[in-house]
Structure 1
């Protein structure tokens, strides 16, 4: 029988450690060896029945080890001597940790230690062949190991990543590689402080399906026209598990509801969840936005508040899509046009943003791509504006 061995421990009493630690032993490095799982206060092995490259990939992700090359069975890294905790492991490949994969009940198997499963990682197995390695990653200067300034290890030196084209898909690959779950945001502009070493990567362009950041397209190592003011970062939200009732499941909001209770969901208390699946919310940092010198609150010169100072937006590349995001954030409906040339008068303070480029799907204006704060070649004769919109919301 296949049972979910995951956050409830597959048959273990409630309260057991919900993300089981894993390790690779008896190999050439911490990222290659026999797979062992820590449960019931004891390390044990994994049977190779059903063991494949997808399962090995989840182990590598949990350990922050990059891409799995192979999933050797037959005690390739020697037989273990403790319990055989798992058999018939069946990972989808998207799990952040092995303990979220399906597997046979703990200790219930017909295996022996001659069938212990292992993992081989790309860099070490092919080092002699001269194949490029999966770059090590770390997140620094943040509140946890899963949030901070992104740094990559290349040529025996740590360096940063430039935020040109840096987006949530790229950050998601980093989180997956580090075993950090789902990326919350992809902060740019040295949000977690400026690095001081090499800027190793620029124009990173991940599809979102890559296992490691080094699988993504980017400029050659070290080739960039960036400064450390453009260092990229990653944020992951995690707030721990609740202990009371789980009231809602399968919540499905359209985005137009005034309150969460207006959204579609299962009946109150009807769920198939545990507290390892508790949902959270992180709201974007409050950056105030306003339209001034126009006929109403929904038409005027665009101004944003940054560093406790209001400033304007340059009209370079300013278009109807950008104006639409402003209208959406202010609850002003659909933008009719995107006037530039200081149509609503010239500002007198800082010009905070230039070359704004919104896709139209952003929830707030500050999620749009733009030059770093204050970096522009404009004057106030180019201040951007928004006219009053139609009464419609996406």
Structure 2
């Protein structure tokens, strides 16, 4: 725990610029750690209230938000960041010329991140305008028109008790939020909630335009159980239709947001078609196509990621222009069965399955690799209405892994591309759709390109359920089926072969059940690799087969990631131009680059947090890697998420580069410093001692602060760092210098303050007289003890000894006397007389 009180004036640029108390806190209970929520840098300007107007976001500066690809889902997130209610309406205004704006990543926002984290620099003449409700919102719902009701009063949000809310109140809320009539009103439908609760009963007539315009009861409710919080579902407004067709379930697709418009065919896949038929209550999609008009017109573009997350087309529509319009035919829930003698074809929309005589269902072949050395290598083709090659635009290793999965091949080894002389009709594959587990056929939309996808998958090995493309449970293919491998049949040399075969680095972890347990089948023979083979199945195998292997012993393998990300040309390894290696090193495209991607890059570089990110513009376009925002934010590495592109905008990135820990030491002018393992370091009272601080060179400049803490006081001493070190002299040590010392190194770089603290050094001051007296006192004390013992012994023997004892004693005394001279003889003679 930090042990001192901060004393900020409020205008400092960094916390460590603030003063701190002299005294240190000795204890702090775990429940008292500071939790802090800062308001998001987002605002609405020029509107009738703080919850309406032109949307602006601040990252490096305040800018308006681009209206391109702006949906109701992003609008809802903006209202959340503004601490306003639900999104009521969103639109755009067009300015005379393009200006600098922030473009907001749809996937990033919908995953729960703040707008600032999802903003990337762009230019546009289309600017977002937004209206949120001031005082009501629906939270945790399945759509923008459902959720637990919350009301805002005195700057805080409260749930509403079921007993204080009725159908007429619900009608007002649904109208206020731009939704249809209320259809479900039920407590705890969208999660239970603890206090605070709204304490007065609403008394609406049903005609009011806002809930807070309604009357309220005079008396307040004292209690309401958590499971009685109002959950409200408003019906969706009529926002989708098919026009000009033979039935209500066929024709040109139109969506209503602010107005009715046709839907753009761009990026339109079977997944969007299925969602449209679902929203129309028209069964499954039977056929989709397009009609081309003479010129572009205003249309709605549907965000595939948004639709595939389960949202309605209205929520996922953004304003665009196009001459290609969607035509759609849904099934109207009619199931057609065509029967032939060896075979039945069941047609449920476009999802056709072949039913064989043995009753096994199989998907029709819809993906293949052609022209390669094996069925798991070549040009990638997909069949929807027809076989077409796949364009390599925005094609990532994650998408390649999904293609290999659909082909029933192993892991993706290397995706590439070939360029043809001219554009041709190809399929574009939605990366988000594929990564969510859908088949390539469902994620394909028509477009044209001259760049064609080529792909190589491993024939017979794959890693499944891993956290990256280089980790997972090992499976081997033999006789058209995949088997896990038992730990006892697999060793480090075998692992080296697998990692090499999959294009990964050396094996780092080899452990059973690391990526999930598995039931049979299991590979039954031991692999005997030398470690140099190019493929696992090139290795030898044992003659005997294993009969059993427990599920917890299936091989889980983690290969190290190949070095695939770096920063070049900067002041340190954690600053510069960002480059990624897939087939080759290339810079990263700066288009649509957000703080979320920047954070992922710093994580991959092991460089702490993102400090700043921007772009530099080159004179002409060059080959770059474009990184999929969706893919990166799901936790994958930049290499897994990179696809080939060209751009003149290149990412520049600065990460915090965590400072190394400073070194602290102590020296003294008198006989050095002694160290006891338990007591720490000791210096003599009155001597001069020096606390030395040093740090490994990372950045120039900076300063060191020595903090001294005793039982009743704390002191700080600061010096600039000279050659990355500083010495703090303490003259005339006395008991007041006893306590703990630490060094804190601080440096201001990249417009931020960074600091790192050393270990604690414990110091004891000893009295020098102790060292002088001890050598004298100890021998004298020993002599006195010996003399006393001899005296007692003589006295004792004089009283109790017999003749023999007297002779022995006399001999002893004689020996002593002789050594002393003649007087001893006289005494002896006198004794005899």
Q: TM-score scaled to structure 1, two decimals?
A: 0.45
Q: Which has the higher helix share?
A: 2
Larger radius of gyration: 2
Larger RCO, structures 1/2 (Cα 8 Å, 6+ apart) = 1
Q: Which has the higher strand share?
A: 2
Q: TM-score scaled to structure 2, two decimals?
A: 0.24
